[in-house]
Chain A
Amino acid sequence: MPAMPPTLTIARKEIQEGLLSARFVLLLVLALALIPASLYTNYRAYEVRKSDQVEMQRRSMDQLKGLSATQLFTNPDLKVDVYLPPVPSSAFATGFEEAHPRHVLVGRHGVEYGAPLEVSPSLGLFGGIDYLFVVQLLFSLFAVLLSFDAITREKEAGTLRSILANPVGRASLAAGKFLGGFTMVALPLVVAFLAGLLALAVAGLDLSAGGFLARSAWILVSSLLYVAVFFLLGLLVSTLTRATYAALVVSLAVWLVAVLVLPRSALLIARMARPVESRQAVLLEKTAALADIERAKGEALQAVYDQDPDTWQDARDGVVAPFDRRADEAAHQLDQQHRTRVDAQRSLALAVARLSPTGSLVSFVTEMAGTGLSAERRFLTDAEGYQDTLHRELFAKVFMDTLPGGTIRMGADPSLDIQSIPEFRNHPPGPLQSLRIADLAMLTAWGLVLALGAFVALSRYDVR
């Protein structure tokens, strides 16, 4: 019978040791307690949000369709509320679900953010707990805690020499330590994850619907990669230090910077480097610009009316069209400028955040859960598409002109049929479209660099 390769022998020993250790038991308990419970609770919250959204959307459409023709054109600021439907996979990462913008107002001149939904009052100061939180913070910390003394504890116990007195290469040692040790961290994660899926099924989610399983699988893969990176980090630190104690301090410091400091500074850095004005300011600018154009339009109409009071209505369309076009362009341009600047700021923030594996994980998981930045972006794009539709079917067919002196003329195109105005449809990205390969690549790159470092350091490690 062929001998078990040393890597596997060492891995097996690591697993046997790990199963007996308090660290492993604590991690398992914490994971099993927190992950399924948070998935379940967040899913139920999703259900409430979903029914809210369906209802509010329905009311918005009912309200629109219930307007009389007169009401339509006496309200130039008419806006239709459009709500972003929540997704079940938000149970993994609440991301933006709890906050904004879930609600936009589609009007004649563009799309505006609606008032944000109120967060549960007590969640204001602290976030909630979701799967992403548990993996991002707890699992990374425990991965480091389980590996930071992988080498130093054996050196201090002297068993490192006992191992290396045998025909075992240092590479095999490193590989065995990684395989065995990582299993001890991955096991609680996988078990808790599966328990979580069970909890979701119990809560009533149809797991096979809508690509949910595909998303879950990708989320699990990225989580395992992330945890591996931190395990390798601890392992590297262990090969660079001689005393367990120093390894602990260094590991904790690195963990702190990588997980808590770097991602959170990203936003500050981006804001400093690429400042953006608030939406409130943009809104005011837009209103001012539009009001100017409105006034000019009124003067032009007055001129036409003065020329020939009887036939001015026929000439109206020709006079008004260029002004309406200018108004649309002005609004569109201001929105675009703002959007471009916001995007620039966000991409810088994300780029900086992704320097840390935590940033990559947050980015990947929120995207895959459908609660990330691109979900918001897609929603706005869909809303703008709907705005085009509404413009065509509604706004362009209704007019209210203000002439200088306060006279108001209003009317509607006879082809306006408010009952046939289509509903808003949003097209969220599917699992494959939500896949951020760049983030997975970053995590893998980190893992490879750390593994290489650990391997090199171990080959020069003083085992005496």
Chain B
Amino acid sequence: MLTLALKEIRDSLLTLRFLAGTALAVLLVAVSVWALADDYGRRVAGHSRTLALNEAHMAEYGHLNRTGSAQVVGVAPRPMTVWVRGLSQGTHLEQLDNDPLPVLFPLVDVVAIVTVVFSLLALVFTFDLVSGERRAGTLRLLSSFGLSRPALIGGKLLGAAGTIAVPYVGAWLTAALVAELASPAPWTATEWGAAAAIGAGGLLFVLDFAALGLAVSTLTYRPRSSAFAVLAAWVALVLVVPNLAPFVAAEIRPLPSLTTLQRQISRMLDTERDALQARLRDEAFERLRAEDPAVARYLRLDPSERAEAAAPDSAGDPSLARAAQKLSDASTEAMREGNRIQGEKADALRADFDRRADAQVHLAQGLSLASPAPAFTYLATDLAETGLRYRAHLEAQQEEFSVGFARWSHATADRLRRNDPQADVWNTPTDLSDMPRFTYRSEPLAGRLAAAAPWIAALAVYGLLFIAVAVAGFARYDVR
């Protein structure tokens, strides 16, 4: 079987498809990584500049009311976007840039090259390994040599694996080399670890397609049918399924629009809350009126007389002043209670929305696993910290930061007010040098590898499935 495998590899190495394919792949990868590194460098420089501008701005004109932009500015471009663009493709995670072109013409990164080019390459290398030999007549010859069918197909599989592994490893090395040379800052050990894991995942992905090509070859009898079947499979697995899945998920588990949600929430926190507060206050007042005659008396006064009666040092009935105080307390309590109730409702609504959004994302991911291609994309984006996991972490950290920032804001405001009770602390320039700055805490490699494990498993399952089909297909293949 090994002899067969080696012969397969030797046969393939000099063919047009191998040489052309390898050259194309390596060239594409080199150009892509170089261009993305250049782009990354520019984005990092832009980010530093923006940060510096922001600092200068805060130093000169800063007052507590103008610190809103501090939180968004702090997100630095992810270093591994040189290989994996992921979600930073043009949406708003890193910049407020609203650049529309990446939406029309998405950028090519290494993941895209592997998913699209290498899968096609693997299929082109293997689609006629069986049907082509049958046509040439050498399959009969091979079968007459006493190798069992599984061994024969095993030899071809190994050969195919070897053939596609060569350009793939070459491309990976090129990508690593160019990233190292062209990036503004060298990668850390974590990043190299992630890069190696992405490489391994990608190899598995590519081998899956080699197995698929071979499987198709064992199910068809002419190279032309194999070619066509393989291309149909490629279109379905690489182009259609990944893009169709979110679509279908959105139909099965629809979300209300964000606008509707915001509208509901703002109504809850605004008009509904005011109405609730008014009701609670009225109820409280009724209760107090029934309990305390002084309150009843107070309430019967004209509004113009109330102010005087409520003053602590008034000449009138002290019980009226106390009643006024009770009513005031009750009012404050009602407001707080109203805020709390409505706040909880809004939170619940938000939580429900988030839960449903999560469900939709999970459904989309699940559906997309009908093809191995998205599994590799998820794997790569999670390892490179440019994917859905990253977004979740980022949002969590930003929320945490918001809370801490709000606390700092209020503490600073209190401090300023203590120094100068009359000043408008929110609108006067202050020293903001101790303002907390947001930096994203990167996830350590172990966590990322653990997250990538299910995707690796998925890719392995696909590989085993395709191999099984190839073996079974060849077992009943008519070699004449």
Question: Is chain B in direct contact with chain A in the complex (CB below 8 A)?
Answer: yes
- B56 cross-chain contacts in A, Cβ below 8 A: 288
The 3 A-B residue pairs with the shortest CB-CB distance in the complex, in nearest-first order: A122-B364, A100-B98, A52-B259
Nearest CB to that of A349 among chain B residues? B101
Chain A's interface: helix, strand, loop or mixed, by majority? Answer: helix
Is there a chain A Cβ closer than 8 Å to B116's Cβ?
yes
- A264 cross-chain contacts in B, Cβ below 8 A: 105-108, 112
Given A120-B250, A126-B374, A288-B61, are A249 and B49 also a contact pair (CB < 8 Å)?
no
Is there a chain A Cβ closer than 8 Å to B140's Cβ?
no
Q: How far is the CA of A119 from the CA of B104 in the complex (A)?
A: 15
Cross-chain contact A287 with B42 (CB below 8 angstroms): no
Cross-chain contact B257 with A48 (CB below 8 angstroms): yes
Given A116-B98, A126-B242, A287-B57, are A55 and B263 also a contact pair (CB < 8 Å)?
yes
- B257 cross-chain contacts in A, Cβ below 8 A: 48-49, 52
Q: Of A184-192, A255-263, A316-324, A326-334, which binds chain B?
A: A255-263
B contact residues, range? 35 or more
Interface residues, chain B, with chain A CB atoms under 8 Å away: 16-17, 20, 24, 28, 31, 35-36, 38-39, 42, 46, 49-50, 53-54, 56-57, 60-61, 69, 72-73, 86-87, 90-92, 95-98, 100-108, 112, 116-117, 120, 124, 128, 223-225, 227-228, 231-232, 235, 239-240, 242-247, 249-251, 255, 257-260, 263, 357-358, 360-361, 363-365, 368, 374, 377-378, 381, 387-388, 391, 428
Q: How far is the CA of A403 from the CA of B350 in the complex (A)?
A: 44
Cross-chain contact B35 with A268 (CB below 8 angstroms): yes
CB distance from B3 to the nearest CB of A (A): 26
Which of A244, A256, A267, A272 gathers most chain B CB within 10 Å? A267
Q: How far is the CA of A95 from the CA of B223 in the complex (A)?
A: 39
- B73 cross-chain contacts in A, Cβ below 8 A: 280
Cross-chain contact A121 with B105 (CB below 8 angstroms): no
Cross-chain contact A96 with B103 (CB below 8 angstroms): yes
Nearest CB to that of B377 among chain A residues? A125
Is there a chain B Cβ closer than 8 Å to A15's Cβ?
no
Give 15 CB contacts A-B under 8 Å: A52-B259, A95-B103, A95-B104, A100-B92, A101-B100, A125-B374, A129-B244, A129-B247, A263-B105, A264-B108, A272-B35, A277-B46, A281-B46, A288-B56, A366-B104
Is there a chain B Cβ closer than 8 Å to A124's Cβ?
yes
Given A55-B259, A264-B106, A284-B54, are A376 and B100 also a contact pair (CB < 8 Å)?
yes
- A122 cross-chain contacts in B, Cβ below 8 A: 245-246, 249-250, 360-361, 363-365
Given A122-B249, A353-B105, are A138 and B98 also a contact pair (CB < 8 Å)?
no
With A122-B363, A145-B231, A267-B102 given, name 4 new contacts (CB 8 A).
A116-B91, A116-B98, A125-B388, A249-B17
CB distance from A442 to the nearest CB of B (A): 16
- B239 cross-chain contacts in A, Cβ below 8 A: 137-138
Which of B61, B101, B249 gathers most chain A CB within 10 Å? B101
Interface residues, chain A, with chain B CB atoms under 8 Å away: 22-23, 26, 30, 34, 38, 41, 48-49, 52, 55-56, 59, 95-96, 98-101, 113, 115-129, 133, 137-138, 141, 145, 149, 153, 244-246, 248-249, 252-253, 256, 260-261, 263-272, 275, 277-281, 283-285, 287-288, 291, 346, 349, 353, 359, 362, 366, 373, 376, 406
Nearest CB to that of A145 among chain B residues? B231
Cross-chain contact A256 with B116 (CB below 8 angstroms): yes
Cross-chain contact A349 with B361 (CB below 8 angstroms): no
Q: How far is the CA of A35 from the CA of B99 in the complex (A)?
A: 28
